[in-house]
Amino acid sequence: MTQQFEDGYQRRFYYLRLSVTDVCNFKCTYCLPDGYRPDGSKRPSFISLPEIKRVVTAFAHCGTNKVRITGGEPTLRRDFTEIVETVAQTPGIDKVAMTTNGYRMAKHVEQWRQAGLTHINVSLDSLDAKQFHQITGQNRFHDVMAGIDRALEVGYKQIKINVVLLKDLNSQQFPQFLNWIKDKPIQLRFIELMKTGEMDELFDNHHVSGVSLRNHLIANGWLLKLREANDGPAQVFIHPDYQGEIGLIMPYEKGFCSTCNRLRVSSRGKLHLCLFGDDGLELRDLMQSDEQEQQLIARISEGLTHKDVSHHLSEGDSGATPHLASIGG
């Protein structure tokens, strides 16, 4: 490795979040409440396998060792297994993760594992089937649970479960969630609801800060785990009586961005320096042949000089992101 992606604040980037589609079959209230709506304009197709290979290779040549495949719902892509394989076979990439709503996991997770998928995050906002349906617009609770069980069966040592905290909805499920991870190798990640461009009163009605949850955990014997160099922004807590762990993701907390180690490429081939940044920097024209790699790297490096020290969520500014499915949450 001769180069390293770094920004003007000495932050180094090891972790690429790659969105492979913005289509989704769920209607999560905080993300796509009306479901996926293709925009009428003639937009380019999603990045292809050869484009994925080139962009991941360029990132790997500049220090990236972890790629998360996300979306929309990434497993809706027919070539999802090939995408996993392509990323996993890129020299330098040793962690291939995905974030999924889990609806296809029970059937396919073994195949994904064989293709090289090393880490799985599944979104599961409730342990109550009715409430799950209410939040996601899909009656798929049992499919998702079967997928999680299957993933553990085929050999994943730990599964991460993303739960978006929603006041007066799933926040009351906390005891059930705790009980669930008592004897299971699951890291429950409670994510604070983030306000995005298309969100209206949902945020005001349902945002709940992770601070009270953190205080509750500490008061009940949970201990903060030390961060490792490439760890994400979650504050992870462990407890001697629990096999599972709890992660808190609190993007509104001061200092959240100081450990930022990730960059994003959207399913249309744009570089996003932040989940809550601007419209993104076009990379696709430089993903067309292997010979363009140095130009691609140069454009990304130049783009990085414009990366802001922090997002501006607390000032009510969520950038140009209409919802997280658009650039990959």
Binding-site member from 194, 246, 263, 275 for ligand SAM (CB under 6 A): 194
Among residues 24, 145, 151, 208, the one that binds ligand SAM under rule CB under 6 A? 24
Q: Is 30 in the site for ligand SAM (CB under 6 A)?
A: yes
Residue nearest to ligand SAM as judged by C-beta position: 329
193 scored as a contact of ligand SAM (CB under 6 A): yes
Q: Quick one: what does residue 193 bind among ligand SAM, ligand SF4, none, with the CB cut-off 5 to 8 Å set by partner type?
A: ligand SAM
Q: Which is nearer to ligand SAM, 61 or 272 (CB)?
A: 272
C-alpha Rg value of the chain to the nearest Å: 19
Scanning residues 85 to 124, which ones bind ligand SAM (CB under 6 A)?
A: 99-101, 123
Q: Which of 44, 58, 62 is nearest to 269 (CA)?
A: 44
Under rule CB under 6 A, residue 32 binds ligand SF4: yes
Nearer to ligand SF4, 194 or 263 (CB): 194
By beta-carbon proximity to ligand SAM, the closer residue of 101 and 261 is 101
> What is the spatial distance between Cα 293 and Cα 287, in angstroms, rounded to a whole number?
8
97 and 119 Cβ atoms separated by less than 8 Å: yes
Q: Is 72 in the site for ligand SF4 (CB under 6 A)?
A: yes
Query: 31 or 273: whose CB is closer to ligand SF4?
Result: 31
For the CB of residue 237, give the shortest distance to ligand SF4 in the complex, in Å. Answer: 24
Binding marks (x or -) toward ligand SF4, 84..103, rule CB under 6 A? -----------------x--
116: left (phi over 0), alpha (psi -120 to 50) or beta: left
Select from 8-16, 28-36, 49-57, 220-228 the region that touches ligand SF4 (CB under 6 A): 28-36
CB of 181 to ligand SAM, least distance (A): 17
> Closer CB to ligand SF4, residue 26 or residue 242?
26
As measured in angstroms, the least distance from the Cβ of 111 to ligand SF4 is 21
Which of 7, 73, 85, 192 contacts ligand SF4 by CB under 6 A?
A: 73
Among ligand SAM, ligand SF4, none, the one that 32 touches (CB under a kind-dependent 5 to 8 A) is: ligand SF4
SS3 letters for the chain? CCCCCECCCCCECCEEEEECCCCCCCCCCCCCCCCCCCCCCCCCCCCCHHHHHHHHHHHHCCCCCEEEEECCCHHHCCCHHHHHHHHHCCCCCCEEEEEECCCCHHHHHHHHHHHCCCEEEEECCCCCHHHHHHHHCCCCHHHHHHHHHHHHHCCCCCEEEEEEECCCCHHHHHHHHHHHCCCCCEEEEEEECCCCCCCCHHHHHHCCCCHHHHHHHHHCCCEECCCCCCCCCCEEEECCCCCCEEEEECCCCCCHHHHCCEEEECCCCEEECCCCCCCCEECHHHCCCHHHHHHHHHHHHHHHCCCCCCCEHHHCECCCCCCHHHCCC
Question: What is the binding site for ligand SAM (CB under 6 A)?
Answer: 24, 30-31, 70-71, 73, 99-101, 123, 162, 164, 191, 193-194, 196, 324-325, 329
Q: Which residues of the shown chain bind ligand SF4 in the complex (CB under 6 A)?
A: 24, 26-28, 31-32, 71-73, 101, 123, 325
